[in-house]
Structure 1
Amino acid sequence: MMEKNYAEGDRYYQAQKRVKELREFYEHLTVYVLVNPIVIVVNLMTSPGYLWFIWCLMGWGIGVVLHGLKVFNLPPFFNKKWEERKIREILEKERNQKTWE
């Protein structure tokens, strides 16, 4: 009986964590969409000869894309398989060190 409660509690915690990650991504995306038009207007009003806003959009856009990839479990690198492989590698390395001691 206790294990069932633990499993349900764990599932609830994981779902809660997932919702928090999604909310934070959508907040990040919303701020990106709302702030960048202001950046564009400021650029065009102060120095229309040099369109520096492009660098802001691209730099921040890369951050938003990477954040989205992580939240939606689509990372091109450092994914769960990579994490599991590194964990096994570290444990194996520790096991080998203890054998030599």
Structure 2
Amino acid sequence: MEIKENDNRKLRRAKKRLQELKGFYWHLASYIGVNTFISINKIIRDLSDGESFVASFWDFGTFAVWLFWGIGLFFHSIKVFSINPVFSKEWEERQIKKYIEKDKREAEKFK
């Protein structure tokens, strides 16, 4: 019975992980599609107002949405792919071991 429950937990975790991954890829696809559409429209609008293509292309407004949405996409990718250089799994394990050892030392003082 315990084996099936363990397998069910693993299956639920795998499905949750898959949903997170699919969510990230949809986020990435919409990021590329929407930002491309916005940038092309802005460049066309600027060209119709008499600006040169180079000036319109390199205008900050053309890349502002890419930049700010990209920051959100970056943090989404960190969450989905479990990339955390500061608080990694190894760091968590070291901290847990450290606190367990500290508790053991404290408990031994009173024996």
The TM-score normalised by the length of structure 2 is: 0.64
For residues 10 and 26 of structure 1, what CA distance do their matches in structure 2 show?
Answer: 24
Provide the C-alpha distance between the structure 2 equivalents of 1:39 and 1:85, rounded to a whole number of angstroms.
47
Query: Whole-Å Cα distance in 2 between the matches of residues 31 and 66 of structure 1?
Result: 16
Q: Distance in 1 between matches of 2:7 and 2:61?
A: 51
Superimposed CA distance per residue, residues 22-78 of structure 1 (whole angstroms, 9 cap, x where no aligned partner): 000000001111111111112112347944021110111111111111111112345
Structure 2, unaligned runs of 5 or more: 47-56, 97-111
Aligned-partner residue type, residue 24 of structure 1: G
Q: What's the TM-score once normalised by structure 1's chain length?
A: 0.70
Match of 2:102 in 1: none
Unaligned runs of 5+ in 1: 88-101
When Rg is computed on C-alpha atoms for both structures, the one with the higher figure is: 2
One-letter amino acid of the counterpart of residue 39, structure 2: I
Q: 1:55 to 1:77 in 2, by over 3 A?
A: farther
1:29 match: secondary structure: helix
Number of residue equivalences: 92
Deviations 1:7-36 (A, max 9, x none): 000000000000000000000001111111
CA RMSD of aligned residues (A): 2.8
Identity, in percent, stands at: 35
